Amino acid sequence: MSSHDTLLNGRYRLVAQQGSGGMAVIYKATDLALGRTVAVKILRPSLTSDPEFLKRFRQEARNVANLSHPNIVTVHDVGQDGGTHYIVMEFIDGEDLKRLIRASAPFTIDRALSIATKICAGVGYAHRAGLVHADVKPQNVLVTESDKVKVTDFGIAQALSATQPRERQKVVWGSPHYFSPEQAQGEPPTPASDVYAIGIVLFELLTGRLPFVGTEQQELALAHIHETPPAASDLNPNVPVHLDRILQKVLSKEPASRYRTADQLGRILVSYRRQGYTTTDHVPEVAPEEPQPDTAATIPPSGPVYAQPQPAQASPNAYIPNSHPDVGPNVHTNRSYNNPPTVPAAPPVTAGSQYYSQQPPLPRAPEAMIQSRYRATEPPQQLDLVTVVLAFMAFIALVLLIPLWIAVYQAWA
């Protein structure tokens, strides 16, 4: 379709083609009714010949239109003009993450974690709404110059996999590098499948390459199902071993062995990032050691800081997926504790700040403040004297009632 002088339903004037994929062609367009720039995604004719798919696609589009989150591309409209079926979305002035990876990867640890947590925030919000993306990959992640992250293309792969299994092999399998093992075996995707795909994206951000490579789709599918992914630290020595452990869990073959939702993975990455890249897995067994002043990490100026590293408030609970990812950490730490320790006020963090290198380490938080809610348990209550006395009196009363029960039994007999 030529973009010149093309008008959809007398409202959306196509300006220029922005990109294309196996499912659709994306255009920059002008909404003449509202006078704003939008993105119009036109489905390929090979997908629109099935009425059942179109019905499911429109339903998925309506579901996604109800999602309002700063890390999800907003859907404005879905419609049809003759045989052309399209979806109208907000226009993002940026590049897809795949292009940035090809140009800049491997990313710094901090920037990779920042982008990954924002992807988790958007996808996790959809998980809470009962939606699975089913096709998380860098091509479906848009990044602006200020590193604002927007996830797009919710619902198309899900609608396709539910209605056109044959077409799914031809189209959705166009990017099998990010498929979970269960998807590679033809099983329906779940939130854990999205978590696996986010793990592949994070691996690629950290190393500049994919964990599994192959010349054929079947070869890649078998690799996802059977092969153990390489350690990211083997490909990039700057990757801490503890982050490697998180990636190995995320890329587990069994869905039950991964984090269950993108929200949970996001909390882990935020907590790990705040604690200075020292914690292991999703439950810190011991409090992290104080970083030495001469080895303190430095936040690179390549992107905005998602959250300040404050050990005194480090906890997986601090992650709030539906909060704006580009604001400071204060919105993530509105939790109260009994008699909290006094923590020196930190200066506001802005994009490109060097907070780690300018500030001395903060005091270590008490153990109770860094316990994960997934492991938190109350200590057993000790028996006091009153309880013991009452229990003893109840026992005596029970013993004294035995002769009475015997007498009643003999009387009735």
Which pLDDT tens digit goes with each residue over 105-117?
999 999 999 999 9
Residues 266 and 314 in one domain: yes
User: Does 323 score more than 90 pLDDT?
Assistant: no
- Distance CA(229)–CA(232), nearest Å, equals 9
Within-domain flag for 377: no
Tell me the pLDDT band of 5, cut-offs 50, 70 and 90.
low
* pLDDT, tens only, 9-40: 999 999 999 988 777 899 999 999 999 999 99
Residues 86 and 100 in one domain: no
* 96 in active site: no
Number of domains in the chain: 2
| CATH number for 64 | 3.30.200.20
Q: Span 333-356, mean pLDDT?
A: 40
Residues 85 and 215 in one domain: no
Residue 89: the pLDDT is 94
Residue from 135, 147, 263, 326 carrying the catalytic annotation:
135
Tell me the pLDDT band of 277, cut-offs 50, 70 and 90.
low
Within-domain flag for 381: no
Residues 227 and 332 in one domain: yes
Within-domain flag for 357: yes
pTM over 0.85: no
Task: Let me know: does 182 contact 193? Beta carbons within 8 Å.
Answer: yes
Domain boundary among 64, 90, 116: 90
Could you please report the per-residue DSSP string of 28-79? EEEETTTTEEEEEEEEPTTTTT-HHHHHHHHHHHHHHHT---TTBPPEEEEE
| CATH number for 297 | 1.10.510.10
Residues 197 and 246 in one domain: yes
Within-domain flag for 103: yes
HSE-CB at 41 with a 13 A cutoff on CA atoms is: 27
Residue 242: the pLDDT is 93
Closest to 341 measured CA to CA, from 360, 323, 367, 316 = 367
Residue 150: the pLDDT is 97
Residues 272 and 317 in one domain: yes
Residues 54 and 188 in one domain: no
Q: Span 155-169, mean pLDDT?
A: 50
- Of residues 386 and 109, the one with the higher pLDDT is 109
Residues 24 and 168 in one domain: no
Domain hosting 11: range is 6-90
Tell me the pLDDT band of 384, cut-offs 50, 70 and 90.
low
Residues 53 and 175 in one domain: no
Within-domain flag for 343: no
Residue 391: the pLDDT is 83
Within-domain flag for 44: yes
- Distance CA(398)–CA(405), nearest Å, equals 10
Residues 41 and 156 in one domain: no
The 3-class secondary structure across 183-252, one letter per residue, is HHCCCCCCHHHHHHHHHHHHHHHHHCCCCCCCCCHHHHHHHHHHCCCCCHHHHCCCCCHHHHHHHHHHCC
Greatest CA span in the chain, whole angstroms? 105
Tell me the pLDDT band of 383, cut-offs 50, 70 and 90.
low
Residues 187 and 245 in one domain: yes
Q: Which residue has the tokens 């640890």?
A: 109
SS3 category, 150? strand
* pLDDT, tens only, 176-218: 899 999 999 988 889 999 999 999 999 999 999 999 988 888 8
- Distance CA(151)–CA(73), nearest Å, equals 6
